[in-house]
Structure 1
Amino acid sequence: MRLRLTIPTFILLVTVILLGCKNATNNQAANEGTLYISVDETFKPVMEEQVKVFLSQNDKANIVVRYKSEAECLEDFAKDSTNMVLIARGLTDKEDDAYRNNLGYPVRFGILAYDAVALLTNVNAKDSIYTLQQLHQILSGADSSVKVVLDGNRATSTVRYLQDSVLKGKPFGKNVQAANGSKAVLDYIAATPNSIGFVGSSWVNNLQDKAQLAYFNKIRLALLPCGVCQEKDAYAKPAQSTIMYGQYPLVRPLYYLLKENNPGVGTTFLNFMSLEKGQLIFRRAYVVPGKMYFGRRTSIL
């Protein structure tokens, strides 16, 4: 029996085939090519792991990462060559409108995870418990007896966070100095007893990282007041649980900013970080996943 193919049926079959080819091409484009991203240096340990695992599963993709201060990341994002940045804030309404007008489409941004700004002291320091008022006095220079070191002096996310959240917009005192990145902060605190420093918690919370463990006989994580604890005079140090439950006071988000009108490697990498594999990487780096909750199961499977 011969199958007769009518003209409408033929047109339908051709349309289906063409759409399938187009989808296959789009999927291929989303997994191939080079993505240039700039990452806030305070998130370097966990983002190195995200990039490594993603590339191991997408052999036709390439990601060129530059670790910089938050301000420098935003400067890069304004250039055509950088399609994604990962920093500790989203866009303001004014910035969002400006990008929409310049690009002709909206920038996608949102929260991937949460970490903390960890307060560090030398292991031989007399004090490792501070109130927020004491931090205000020290950072403002009203109490200049303690040396303070930050991870840079050109608008890093740590600098911005402390100035906004602790100093409430006031300037830093003359006792506050800048180091060349988070590792330099760790080295300074390890060698200087009468000092405190601030870094992103992913630099000091991963107990499976040998490089981080090597610092723990030289530095300590300081305790700060627990804002939600019922116990009087309760204090907390930065940890995954104290970030999750709001017990540690210096918590901040990790945002992605992506300008990609058509799906490409940036969209594929964002999806990877937003779904189970990427969110588990955040969890294993001892930061708090922002897209998924990995709580203990209470039901029997």
Structure 2
Amino acid sequence: MTRFILFLLISANFLFVDQIFAQESIRTKGSDTMLPLIKALTNNYDQFSHETFEVLGGGSSLGFKGLRNFNIALALSSRKVRSTEQESIEDNEDQLIEKVIAFDALSIIVHPSNRIKQLTIPQLQKIFKGQITNWSQLGGEDLPILVISRDKNSGSYSFMKNEIVRGNTNSNNIKEVHSNASVVENVSRLKGAIGYCGIAYIEEVVQPISIAKTEQRNYVYPSFKNALNKQYPLSRPLYFYYRISDKLKLSSFVNFTMSDKGQQIIAHKGYIPVL
């Protein structure tokens, strides 16, 4: 009888410890571009930490919505927070912390059979605005252009719209998808397609395009080296966002991310470390 009671007490203690560890689970959500990065970081961090992570993508906007609704502790974003988002999250006692943890080279991709190997930013603007609608207008095959775009929750979409296109796109030649992987998949099988994705998502089934700011500038390929040297014109920062009230809970993981080990993991996954 004594052994049975002792067994129950030990089992209860283990259950109590498990409950404590379960309570330390950290929810993170946001940028689809950052998913390979955050999964690699959390997997390595979990090896020496009691904390566990729930990692979800869906787009930068969903990360900020999660913070606003107190559904997550850490938002992932491939764009800077909008003032309206920040105002909806913050109050007088709880401010938002912004941390640049890496950089990405937003890559323009086309079907491997496409003869076009380089484009200028003004040409990209005309493609996305529907002013250039056939590859023959750029010296390529007589083939209609189909733009594969991310949805409006995506930070990549916001970057393209605000920094590159600088205006509204033409929806007549645009197919909207919900992830970087879907962009790559569509561009790989549709001969007239053009799309954009994070550098970590580039595969051999698509062809990255070299980009120049203007026709008078050198065309730069979206490689790790060119992005690291700040030569590639479509580079952008990647952010962590979290509340001051969660700073203590997240400080160990954030410090790991910014450490030499964390930055090596970031570089190994194809992203650009913070120098």
Asked if 1:62 corresponds to 2:52, the answer is: yes
Matched with 2:119 is: 130
Is the 1:225–1:236 Cα contact (8 Å) retained in structure 2? yes
The whole-number CA distance in structure 1 between the counterparts of 2:221 and 2:259 is 28
Equivalent pairs counted in the alignment come to: 246
1:224 Cα offset (Å)? 0.6
In the TM superposition, structure 1's runs of 4+ consecutive aligned residues that sit over 6 Å from their partners are 29-32
The whole-number CA distance in structure 2 between the counterparts of 1:201 and 1:276 is 21
Q: Which has the higher helix share?
A: 2
Q: Superposition pairs for residues 143-222 of structure 1, below 5 Å? A: 143-145=132-134, 146-151=145-150, 153-204=151-202, 215-216=203-204, 218-222=205-209
1:81 Cα offset (Å)? 2.7
Is the 1:73–1:87 Cα contact (8 Å) retained in structure 2? yes
The whole-number CA distance in structure 2 between the counterparts of 1:262 and 1:173 is 40
RMSD: 2.4
Matched with 1:43 is: 34
CA deviation map 1:15-71 (0-9, x unaligned): xxxxxxxxxxxxxx999711111131112122211111111221x111111111111
2:234 pairs with one of 235, 250, 253 = 250
Q: TM-score with structure 1 length normalisation? A: 0.75
Give ranges in structure 1 of 5+ residues lacking alignment. Answer: 1-28, 205-214, 294-301
1:261 pairs with one of 231, 245, 254 = 245
The whole-number CA distance in structure 2 between the counterparts of 1:247 and 1:30 is 45
Structure exhibiting the larger radius of gyration computed from Cα positions: 1
1:255 Cα offset (Å)? 0.7
1:85 Cα offset (Å)? 0.5
1:155 Cα offset (Å)? 2.9
1:264 Cα offset (Å)? 4.2
1:245 Cα offset (Å)? 2.4
Q: TM-score with structure 2 length normalisation? A: 0.81
Is the 1:90–1:256 Cα contact (8 Å) retained in structure 2? no
Is the 1:31–1:264 Cα contact (8 Å) retained in structure 2? no
Change (3 A) 1:262 1:70: closer
The whole-number CA distance in structure 2 between the counterparts of 1:148 and 1:275 is 39
Matched letter for residue 119 of structure 2: Y
Matched letter for residue 195 of structure 2: G
Give ranges in structure 2 of 5+ residues lacking alignment. Answer: 1-19, 135-144
The whole-number CA distance in structure 2 between the counterparts of 1:263 and 1:195 is 43
1:96 Cα offset (Å)? 4.3
Matched letter for residue 148 of structure 1: V
CA deviation map 1:182-240 (0-9, x unaligned): 11111111111111110111212xxxxxxxxxx41x2111111168xxxx652111122
Is the 1:70–1:87 Cα contact (8 Å) retained in structure 2? yes
1:241 Cα offset (Å)? 2.0
Is the 2:30–2:62 Cα contact (8 Å) retained in structure 1? no
1:225 pairs with one of 212, 227, 231 = 212
Q: Superposition pairs for residues 17-166 of structure 1, below 5 Å? A: 33-58=24-49, 60-92=50-82, 95-96=85-86, 99-101=89-91, 104-145=93-134, 146-151=145-150, 153-166=151-164
| Structure 2 residue matching 1:77: 3-state secondary structure | helix
